[in-house]
Structure 1
C-alpha cells in the first residue's frame, strides 16, 4: 500500500516489530503529528484483562494470542495509528488483516535493546534466561513474519526519537524513503495484481 500525500489513506497505520523497538512511544507521536487517534493493542488488552504477565500466567500464551487477535481486529477497524504487540504477527489471521493497512516495521539492535529492556517485566523474558539473548532469539524467529507484512522499515537503535517520528511521517506522506522499502510485501502485491 502506498503512502498518501497527506498521510491519511484508507486503513490504519500499523506499527509492528520486536518488543522494545518503540512501537507504542513512536506510534503515539506519529498519531499526534498526523492528528489521528492512537491505539495500543497491549494497552487495550491490559484494560480488559489485567496485566499481560498475569494473563500469561493465568491463562497461558495460546489464550493470550486469541485475546490479542481480537484486540488487533478491533483496533484495525477503528483506523488511525495502531501499535501491535511484538508477537501479534504470529497469527496468520492478523497477517492477512494487515494487507489492507500501511505497516511500519520498527527494528532495534541488541546493544540498544539491552538498555531498553533492563528491569522491565516482559512475560517472554522472565525466568532463568538472559533477557537479551532470549529477545534476540524471539526477534530472529519473528523476522520473516515482520518482513511479510511490512511496507517500510525504520531502525530505532540510535538517533533522536523526534527525527524518527519526522522520517516516518514524511514516508507516510510520500516525501521521504524509509530505511528499507521491504520487498516481500511488494512482491506479494505484484503477484496479486
Structure 2
C-alpha cells in the first residue's frame, strides 16, 4: 500500500484533514512539520527566523528523504514543492493529493502568517506566495481535491472514496 501525501497552501487543512483521513482509513499519520520541529528542537518560525529559509528548506528536504514509511497519511509543509528531490521521493512511495482552495479562502484562514512558520521571503505577500506555489502543487499532484465550499467531513469523504 502506498502513502497518501497531502500538499497545499498553509491553511488548506493538510494537518487537520490528514488526521481525519488517517482515522477514516485506519492508517498511521505523520506531519513533516512536526518532524522538523522535533529534529531541530524549535518551532518552525524560530528555525526560519534564526537560520533562514534556505536552511529550513534543506532540513525539510532531509526529513522527507529520511522517511521510511508505508501505508501512512502524510501531511507536508506547504513549501515541500520547492524540492523536486523531496517530491519525487514522496511520489515514489505515495499518491500526492493537492488540497486546492482559492486565494480568498486561504487569506481568510491564515491570520498568523508571520508566526506560523511559513517559508516566505521578507516582504513577500501571501498572495505572491500563493501565485508562486499553486503551479507547483498542480504540477506535482496525482489527484486534486477541490475543497471549495466543503466541510472537513465532506473533504475526507471525497478522499476516502479515492482510496477505497
TM-score grouping bracket, smaller chain normalisation? 0.7 to 0.9
Q: TM-score, normalised by structure 2?
A: 0.87
Q: Write out per-residue CA displacement over residues 134-190 of structure 1, whole angstroms, 9 at most, x where no aligned residue.
A: 2221122122221222111112232211011011110122xxxxxxxxxxxxxxxxx
Q: CA–CA distance in 1 between the matches of 2:84 and 2:110?
A: 27
Is 1:88 the counterpart of 2:71 in the alignment?
no
Question: Is 1:24–1:40's contact at 8 Å kept on the other side of the alignment?
Answer: yes
Q: Which of 92, 97, 100 pairs up with 1:104?
A: 97
What is the rounded CA distance, in whole Å, between the counterparts of 1:138 and 1:94 in structure 2? 19
Q: Write the distance in 2 (CA, Å) between the matches of 1:126 and 1:53.
A: 13
Q: In terms of Rg, which structure is larger?
A: 1
Distance 1:144 1:110 in 2: 13
Residue 135 of structure 2 aligns with which residue? Answer: 144
Aligned to 2:52: 60
Aligned residues: 159
* Structure 2: runs of 5+ lacking an equivalent: none
Q: TM-score, normalised by structure 1?
A: 0.75
SS at match of 2:97: strand
1:32-89 deviation digits (Å, cap 9, x = unpaired): 11111100000111122110111011111111111101221233x2130101100111
Number of the residue aligned with 2:8: 17
Q: Identify unmatched segments of 5+ residues in structure 1.
A: 1-9, 174-193
Instruction: Please tell me the root mean square deviation across aligned C-alpha atoms, in Å.
Output: 1.9
Which whole-Å CA distance do the structure 2 matches of 1:138 and 1:165 have between them? Answer: 26
